[in-house]
Structure 1
Amino acid sequence: NQFKAMMDSANKYNVKVIVDVLPNHTAIDHTAVLPALDEAVGGHDKLYHANGFTPIKDYNDRYQCTTGEMGGLPDVNTENPDFQHYYMTYVNDLLSLGVRGFRYDTAKHIGLPSDPLDSLAARNNFWDVATGREEVKGLRLAVPADSLFIYGEVLQDKNVKESEYAEYMDLTASAYGHALRTVLDKADFNADSLLNWHHPVDGKHLVTWVESHDTYANEHESAGLTDEQIRMGWVFLTARQNGTPLFFSRPAGSTRENYWGNNRVGARGNDEFKHPEVVAVNKFRRSMSGQPETIATADNGAVIVVSRGNAGAAIINLSSEPRNINGVDTTLPDGDYTDAVYGSSFKVNSGKLSGQLDPLTSYLLYR
Structure 2
Amino acid sequence: MRLVLLALAAAVGGASMVPAATAESAPVRGPIVQMFQWPWESIARECADFLGPKGFGAVQVSPPQEHVVLGDKGYPWYQDYQPVSYQLKSRRGDREQFASMVRTCNDAGVEVYVDAVVNHMSAGSSDASGPGSGGSTYDKYDYPGVYSDADFHGCRRDIGNYEDKWEVRNCELVGLADLATESEHVRNTQIAYLNDLVGMGVSGFRVDGVKHMPPEDVGAVFGALQNVPGTGARPYVFQEVIGDSTTTAGEYTGNGDVTEFGYYGVVANAFRDGSLAQLANLPERMSLPSDQAVVFIDNHDTQRSSPILTYKDGVTYELSVAFELAYPYGTPQLISSFAFDDADAGPPAEADGTTKAASCEDSAWVCEHRRPIIAGMAGFHGAVQGTDLVNWWDNGGGQVAFGRGDKGFVALNREGGELSQTFQSSLPAGTYCDVMSGELVNGSCTGATVEVGEDGRFDAAVAPNSGIALHVGAKL
Counterpart pick for 2:325 among 209, 221, 238 = 238
Pair 1:142 & 2:238 matched: no
Contact 1:68 1:75 (C-alpha < 8 Å) held by counterparts:
yes
The amino acid that maps onto 1:84 is R
Matched, 1:186 2:273: yes
How far residue 175 of structure 1 moved from its aligned partner, in angstroms, is 0.7
Q: Distance in 2 between matches of 1:110 and 1:179?
A: 27
5+ residue gaps in structure 1?
A: 113-124, 133-139
Q: Which residue of 1 aligns with 2:68?
A: none
Query: Does 2:403 match 1:307?
Result: yes
8 A Cα contact 1:223 1:259, kept in partner: no
Q: Does structure 1 residue 172 correspond to structure 2 residue 259?
A: yes
Cα deviation per residue 1:172-196 (whole Å; 9 max; x = unaligned)?
Answer: 1111110011101111114567522
What is aligned with 2:288? 201
SS in 1 for 2:369: helix
Relative distance call for 1:263 and 1:89 in structure 2 (3 A) is closer
User: Would the alpha carbon gap of residues 250 and 228 (structure 1) be closer, same or farther in structure 2, given more than 3 Å must change?
Assistant: farther
- For residue 352 of structure 1, report the CA deviation from its aligned partner: 5.2
SS in 2 for 1:166: helix
1:335, distance to aligned residue in structure 2 (A): 6.4
Match of 1:61 in 2: 164
- Report the aligned-residue RMSD: 2.9
Aligned to 2:177: 74
CA spacing shift, 1:172–1:349, aligned 2, 3 Å: same
Aligned to 2:471: 366
Matched, 1:323 2:418: yes
Structure 2: which 5+ residue stretches go unaligned? 1-95, 130-136, 350-354, 359-364, 439-446
Out of 291, 294, 311, the position equivalent to 2:390 is 294
Residues 337-356 of structure 1: pairs in structure 2 closer than 5 A: 337-340=432-435, 341=438, 342-345=447-450, 353-356=458-461
Q: Is the 8 A contact 1:38 1:47 kept in 2?
A: no
* More displaced 10-residue stretch of structure 1: 25-34 or 243-252: 25-34
Aligned-partner Cα distance in 2 for 1:211–1:353: 33
Deviation of 1:201 (Å): 2.2
Q: 1:251 touches 1:261 (CA, 8 Å); kept in 2? A: no
Structure 1 position 337, deviation (Å): 4.6
Aligned residues: 341
1:129 is matched with which residue?
Answer: 220
1:103 paired to 2:198: no
Identity %: 21
If the length of structure 2 is used for normalisation, what is the TM-score? 0.65
Which one is further off, 270-279 or 342-351? 342-351
Indicate how the Cα distance of structure 1 residues 230 and 194 shifts in structure 2: closer, same or farther if over 3 A, else same: farther
8 Å Cα contact 2:423-2:460 kept in structure 1: no
Whole-angstrom CA distance in 2 between matches of 1:324 and 1:347: 17
Contact 2:296 2:324 in 1 (8 A): yes
Partner secondary structure for residue 285 of structure 2: coil
Preserved contact between residue 169 and residue 214 of structure 2 (Cα < 8 Å): yes
Cα pair distance change 1:173/1:141, threshold 3 Å? same
Alpha carbons of structure 1 residues 278 and 366: separation in structure 2 relative to 1, 3 Å: same
Structure 1 SS opposite 2:392: strand
The verdict on how the C-alpha distance between 1:366 and 1:68 changes in structure 2, with shifts beyond 3 A counting, is: same
Q: 2:236 and 2:183 mapped to 1: Cα distance? A: 25
Q: Deviations over 1:186-212 (max 9, x none)?
A: 111145675225333211221111112
Give, as a single letter, the amino acid of the residue that structure 1 aligns with 2:168.
C
Match of 1:49 among 128, 142, 153: 153
**What is the 5 A alignment of 1:246-257?**
246-252=333-339
- What TM-score, normalized to structure 1? 0.82
1:280-334 deviation per Cα after TM superposition (whole angstroms, max 9, x unaligned)? 1111111112121226243433222230112211222223x34233244533356
2:468 partner SS: strand
> Against the structure 1 CA distance between its residues 291 and 142, is the aligned structure 2 distance closer, same or farther, given a 3 Å change threshold?
same
Quick check: 214-223 or 182-191, which moved more?
214-223
**2:106 paired with 1:11:** yes
Q: Distance in 2 between matches of 1:296 and 1:261?
A: 42
For 2:281 and 2:238, the matched residues in 1 are separated by: 22
Determine if contact 2:276/2:400 at 8 Å carries over to the other structure.
Answer: yes
